[in-house]
Amino acid sequence: MTSEFFTGVTEPIRYGGPDSTDPLTFKAWQPNRVVLGKRMVEHLRPGVCFWHSFTWAGTDMFGTGTLDRPWITMADEMAGARAKMAAAFEFFTKLGAPYYCFHDRDVAPEGTSFAEFRDHLDALTDDALGYQERTGVTLLWGTANVFTHPRYQAGAATNPDPEVFAYAAAQVKHMLEVTKRLGGPNYVLWGGREGYDTLLNTDLRREGAQLARFLHLVVEHKHKIGFKGRLLIEPKPMEPAKHQYDYDSATVHGFLARNGLEGEYQLNIEANHATLAGHSFHHEVAYAVANGVLGSIDANRGDPQNGWDTDQFPNSVEDLALPLYEILRAGGIAPGGFNFDAKLRRQSSDRNDLFHAHIGGLDTIAQALLVAADLVERGELAANLDARYASWDGALGKAILEGGLSLADLEARVAAGAVNPVPVSGGQERLENLVNKSIWAVDRPAAG
């Protein structure tokens, strides 16, 4: 496409500040503003995803597309793919997003054979390289879509048919190479159909072994081709399958440990998947940090009214401040980032709505970063946590942890009256007030 698609926005979106009345300006996102010694853009590394923003026409299970995405129905599929990529890079540039993410199938038409699909993908990767050079926008992560085609109806790696495993392997191998060519610092595996609809036809033992084998093959190929990026698994408890094996952070971490894969994979944690699993996003991030498996973030939100994976754009600073606090304390998210795995509502059918959505998302993560930085700088939460566990650094605590005391030793001490624990307040409300203090303190960021 030679002419522009997003004609309602003629200039890159600029910072207007909290009082700006122009809805097409940022209220909090200032990529170059320094926060705790690092620029906002380096802290957050935000990315736009291809699938929700350019590959999805606004269909749902009851209705056809409502969004204006002309490339989807173009008769010449490669011309459609090129128009889509042109519009996508035009959008990234006008928004000022430094990164993007895609599945192989988001950019390349399926064609009539795998060989044809691979040729399409290679040609479009050449195009993407050109766009990357011209715009400076680069890949945050690549991934393979091994869930849409009917061949994957019973799973990819966990399919009862090894030929389907082979097909998925071919796709992942090639997409890993494409990700390397595009300089992507991460590669994501999301097992949307690695799970079951009924246990009546499912051999859990076999499927677990198949999945582990698949993950080992990916690691092997990564090292073989010298891909320096990280491999990430994206947990999700259900949808589309009734139950998915990569249920949540802890489940995936356990699976990796059981199968000799620890250290080879980190996690891509999605806010709405956390809530679908009955956790908070804060919990999933905190678990990953505590266990050394934090990789990247899929930023979005669900709707508390129904709990589905509605993939809405993040808009709550409160929900994101504490996950960001964990991330700051862990030393940051890089080489991961914040991918907006979020889609417009079906009625948001103006072209500018895609800007409004991402402006809101960027402003929200930027503002949450300021709150998190304020919590770090004040240090009150951290001091409270240190004080709460301080006696584990004392004589008794150390002796227990270092293995110097048996159950019998401990019984002897308790029986001798040497141990008299006194309950201490957890102070939850006092701590919650500290969080609100930071939320309110950075309510109006200074222009800068």
> Which residues sit at the interface with ligand XLS, rule CB under 6 A?
103, 143, 188, 190, 192, 234, 236, 270, 298, 309, 341
171 binds, among ligand XLS, Ni ion, none (CB under 5 to 8 A by kind): none
**Lookup: tokens for 180:** 């390397």
Contact 231, 265 (CB under 8 A): yes
246 binds, among Ni ion, ligand XLS, none (CB under 5 to 8 A by kind): none
Taking the least distance from each CB to ligand XLS, the nearer of 246 and 374 is 246
Longest dimension (CA), the chain: 85
33 binds, among Ni ion, ligand XLS, none (CB under 5 to 8 A by kind): none
Residue 374 C-beta: closest distance to Ni ion, Å: 29
Find the catalytic residue in 43, 52, 104, 106. Answer: 106
Alpha-carbon distance 180 to 287, whole Å?
29
Residue 280 C-beta: closest distance to Ni ion, Å: 16
Alpha-carbon distance 351 to 335, whole Å?
31
Residue with the shortest CB distance to ligand XLS = 190
383 to each of 173, 376, 380, how far by Cα in Å? 47, 10, 5
246 is catalytic: no
Taking the least distance from each CB to Ni ion, the nearer of 270 and 326 is 270
CA angle 243, 248, 254 (to 5 degrees): 105
143 binds, among Ni ion, ligand XLS, none (CB under 5 to 8 A by kind): ligand XLS
253 is catalytic: no
Find the catalytic residue in 43, 52, 103, 279. Answer: 103
Per residue in 55-78, is it b (16+ CB within 10 Å) or e — as a string?
A: bbbbeeeeeeebbebebbeeeeee
Residue 382 C-beta: closest distance to ligand XLS, Å: 32
Taking the least distance from each CB to ligand XLS, the nearer of 177 and 374 is 177
Residue 192 C-beta: closest distance to Ni ion, Å: 9
Where along the sequence are the contacts to Ni ion (CB under 5 A)? 270, 298, 341
Residue 285 C-beta: closest distance to ligand XLS, Å: 16
301 binds, among ligand XLS, Ni ion, none (CB under 5 to 8 A by kind): none
Taking the least distance from each CB to ligand XLS, the nearer of 238 and 434 is 238
Alpha-carbon distance 189 to 298, whole Å?
13
Of the candidates 318, 369, 331, 443, the one whose C-alpha atom is nearest the C-alpha of residue 46 is: 369
Residue 284 C-beta: closest distance to Ni ion, Å: 12
Residue 341 C-beta: closest distance to ligand XLS, Å: 5
Residue 63's DSSP bridge partners are: 60
Per residue in 401-435, is it b (16+ CB within 10 Å) or e — as a string?
A: eeeeeeeeeeeeeeeeeeeeeeeeeeeeeeeeeeb
Taking the least distance from each CB to ligand XLS, the nearer of 31 and 237 is 237
Burial of 394 (0-12, 13-18, 19+ CB in 10 A): exposed
Of the candidates 273, 263, 206, 266, the one whose C-alpha atom is nearest the C-alpha of residue 235 is: 273
Taking the least distance from each CB to ligand XLS, the nearer of 177 and 298 is 298
Taking the least distance from each CB to Ni ion, the nearer of 275 and 364 is 275
Residue 166 C-beta: closest distance to ligand XLS, Å: 20
Taking the least distance from each CB to ligand XLS, the nearer of 280 and 352 is 280
Contact 81, 120 (CB under 8 A): yes
Query: Which active-site residues does the annotation give?
Result: 103, 106
